[in-house]
Structure 1
Amino acid sequence: MISIRQATQADIDILYELILAIARHHGQEQFVVTSKAQLQRAGFGPHPRFGALLAEIDGEIAGYASFTWNYSIWLGSELMTLDDLFVWDRFRGRKIGEALMQELSNICRTRDIQRIKWEVQQDNHQAIKFYRRLGAEVEPKGVCRWNLL
């Protein structure tokens, strides 16, 4: 059975491991510059800058989702931005990603938020198929990044 819970300070090691794992999965490990200490300060202090959910099966961490809150001036309301959604290979095909997405949806509903936004690589056809099955619209917009350092 899948259980979903909020990550806590005690989960920093596994959260960091999952972040590195999704980066490796996408061939982008070199872009991970955060540290466990930075995650601890940013996510678990008095004013958390992000949230993270952990999915467990039989007490073993199977995957995670991380998110932040943003405001859209076009919508005139707050929205959730999904940062990462990742499930370990050995747990895939067991609806863990779907359970994580459903819990994100539940969190939004409790805050009266009506939109979750995220990015997906255009060649990640499996993920796009999964998101569409959930009812998400996949827009063909480009992603821009301006590194100022």
Structure 2
Amino acid sequence: MTGLPDPPHDHRRGRPTPPVVLTDAERATLTGWAHDATSGTALALRSRIILACATGATNTQVATTLGVSRPTVGKWRSRFLELRLDGLTDEPRPGRPPRMTMEEIREILATPPTRRGRPVGWTRRELARQTGLSASTVGRIWKNLDLPDTAR
């Protein structure tokens, strides 16, 4: 039709992708999460998605670069735009609450058991019996606390 301006030549189809604009504080937090092994792989990936979106990349470009699906990128872009950093963290999941808090477990670990009148280190079985947790749960807790087998 005559009189109408030519469409833009960026070859994008569909709805326009809303831009992600980060504050310096958000960028610093996301960068930290993206490179921090203790933040969890899911949060690290979500952070990398948002950092990539903030460069102006499309959902398709981000998905290809990071090896995720386009809907995944769209989901986290939307959640970030709506809730900012809070939108990237995991929602609480249903399930039984822990039997003991980490503080209670640390307290028990700090108190050695008495065997034949002298203090010795805990074994998984002893600590499991004392706390009511399974031996495998005790092992996972020790691993999360970064305690070597011989130091327990």
TM-score band (shorter)?
under 0.3
When Rg is computed on C-alpha atoms for both structures, the one with the higher figure is: 2
The two structures have a TM-score, normalised by structure 1, of 0.23
The two structures have a TM-score, normalised by structure 2, of 0.22
Which has the larger share of helix?
A: 2
Which has the larger share of strand?
A: 1
Higher relative contact order (CA 8 A, sep 6+): 1
